[in-house]
Amino acid sequence: MEELLNEVLKEASNGNIIIDGDPFPIGFNSMIHEENKVISYKKDDNFPVLIIKNKRLFIIKLTEYLSIAMEIVEKFPTFCKDRERNKLKTLITYLFVNATSEDFVNPLELLDRNISFLKDDTFDYLNQGINIPLQNSFDESFINIKNSDQSAFMETNKKITIFLFKQINDEYFKYILPDISYGIRINSNNEKICYIYSIINPKTKKDEKTKYYKKVARELYKLNSGVFDSESEEYKNYKVGKDNYDYYPENISDVSPSAILSLSIFISLLEKENIKKIRVVSYLPIRYLSREIIAQRQINQKYAQVLHERNNELQRNITDKFLRTFRRVAFHITGIETNSYPYQPSEFMEISLNEINHNISNIILNDVYNSVLNKLQNNTVKNYNTFL
C-alpha cells in the first residue's frame, strides 16, 4: 500500500498519474513527514501541496479506507475490471481529486470523512427505489427516488436519483431530474452531517423529449413565479439592460428549476431522517487544476486560451449556480438557514435545517415536498419498479 501511495504522489508532482498505461492530468505536490525526515515531491510551484504530518497513521487510515472501498465500490472504469492494482490506484488517486483545499493540509480528516461516507446506511431503504404519487402537480405524476452507487471517479460513492413519470395508454414516460451526490458522516456530538457535492443535470437525448417531457418542463418554470419581484433593484436593472456592471449581481433567479425541485426533495429526505446540518462542497481544487493542465499543454496558444476561459466559466457555474440553488430553495422554504458561505470561515457553505414551515408558498414545491415527506413518515410507500 505504501509503495502504491508513493507512486501516486510522485506521479502527481509531474502532473500525470498513470493508471493502466494511460496518463491522467492530475497534479499536486507532497510533503511527507516520516519519522525524523521529510520527503518532498515537488515539480510545479503552481500545484497545491499535500501535507502528510504522520505517514504511519496516514497509511493505517488509508489501508482501512481502501479495504472498505474495495468491498463497497462496484463501479470502476472498464480498464480496472478484475485488476486489483488498477482499482487501488484509482481509489487513491480520486481520493485526492475529490479533496477540498483544507483536506490538503489535513488529509487524515479527508480519510475519516470518506470512511464515514462508505459506512453510512442512512438511505439504504431507498436502494430499490420508491414511487410517490403527487396529487396536484405534473398532471398527477409519480416521483421515483432511488439511492444509487456511483463510479470511483465521482465525488462520493452515493447519489440520489430522481425522476417524474406517468403512465399514458399502457406506456410509461419519464422526466429525469438532476442527481445529487452526497455523503453522510457522524460528528463528535453524534449528529449526522450531510455533505452535498453536486447537483448534476442529466443529458437528455432528442428521442426522450416526448410530449410528457415538454409538459413537465413547462410546468417546472412555474417555480419561478414571483421570484424576480423579490430580487434586488441592482439585479432587476441589470436583467432588463438598464445598467451595466463589470460583475454579475447577486440573485436567486439564475438557477435551473429542475435543480430546485431535486434539492427540495433531497431536503425532505434529510428532514425525515432528522439531519439538521448540511455542508455544501463548492470547490475541489484538483478537478479545476486538471482542466487547467490540459489547457496549458496545448501547442496552439489560442486554443489554450479558449480552454482556460472555458474552464473558468465552467467553475463559475459549478460554484456560483450550485450555491445559488441552495439560496433559492431557502427563499421558498422557511426554516432552511445559511449560517456561512465558503471561506467565511470554513470552506463549506454551512446550512442548518431548523423548524421547516411546511406551508410552502410555491404550489408545486408545497405539493412535492409534503407528498414525499408525508409518505416517508407514514411508511406507506410501495415499490413499482417492474417497468424500470
In 3D space, the residue among 145, 217, 221, 216 whose CA is nearest the CA of residue 182 turns out to be 145
Give residue 384's pLDDT.
Answer: 46
In 3D space, the residue among 29, 1, 112 whose CA is nearest the CA of residue 286 turns out to be 29
Give residue 60's pLDDT.
Answer: 95
- Condensed to tens digits (0 to 9), the pLDDT of residues 54-97 reads 999 999 999 999 999 999 988 887 776 668 888 999 999 999 99
d(CA 242, CA 236): 8
In 3D space, the residue among 223, 174, 180, 197 whose CA is nearest the CA of residue 97 turns out to be 197
- Condensed to tens digits (0 to 9), the pLDDT of residues 227-236 reads 998 988 888 8
Beta bridge partners of 34: 37
Using pLDDT thresholds of 50, 70 and 90, give the confidence band for residue 238: confident
Question: CB of 62 within 8 A of CB of 111?
Answer: yes
Q: Flag whether pLDDT at 261 surpasses 90.
A: yes
Report the 10 Å Cβ neighbour count for 37: 7
- Condensed to tens digits (0 to 9), the pLDDT of residues 294-329 reads 888 888 888 888 888 888 888 888 899 999 999 999
In 3D space, the residue among 357, 330, 369 whose CA is nearest the CA of residue 136 turns out to be 369
- Condensed to tens digits (0 to 9), the pLDDT of residues 15-58 reads 999 998 889 999 999 999 988 888 889 888 889 999 999 999 99
In Å, how far from its chain's centre is CA 127? 18
Question: CB of 348 within 8 A of CB of 342?
Answer: yes
Report the 10 Å Cβ neighbour count for 289: 22
Question: CB of 331 within 8 A of CB of 98?
Answer: no
Residue type at position 24: F
d(CA 236, CA 229): 8
Using pLDDT thresholds of 50, 70 and 90, give the confidence band for residue 258: very high
Q: Flag whether pLDDT at 207 surpasses 70.
A: no
In Å, how far from its chain's centre is CA 212? 28
d(CA 55, CA 32): 7
Burial of 359 (0-12, 13-18, 19+ CB in 10 A): exposed
Residue type at position 133: P
The angle formed by the CA atoms of residues 372, 164 and 362, to the nearest 5 degrees, is 55
Using pLDDT thresholds of 50, 70 and 90, give the confidence band for residue 387: very low
Contacts of 242 (CB under 8 A, 6+ apart): none
Report whether the peptide linkage leading into residue 202 is cis, meaning its omega lies within 30 degrees of zero.
no
Residue type at position 196: I
Mean residue pLDDT across the chain: 90
- Condensed to tens digits (0 to 9), the pLDDT of residues 115-124 reads 999 999 999 9
- For helices 84-97 and 285-296, give the axis angle rounded to 10 degrees: 100
d(CA 249, CA 355): 30
Q: What is the mean pLDDT of residues 235-253?
A: 82
d(CA 186, CA 234): 41
Give pTM, 2 decimals: 0.92
d(CA 188, CA 175): 40
d(CA 292, CA 312): 9
Q: Flag whether pLDDT at 9 surpasses 80.
A: yes
d(CA 16, CA 293): 9
- Condensed to tens digits (0 to 9), the pLDDT of residues 321-363 reads 999 999 999 999 999 999 999 888 889 999 999 999 999 989 9
Give residue 2's pLDDT.
Answer: 86
Question: CB of 293 within 8 A of CB of 27?
Answer: yes
d(CA 160, CA 265): 10
In 3D space, the residue among 26, 81, 32 whose CA is nearest the CA of residue 52 turns out to be 32
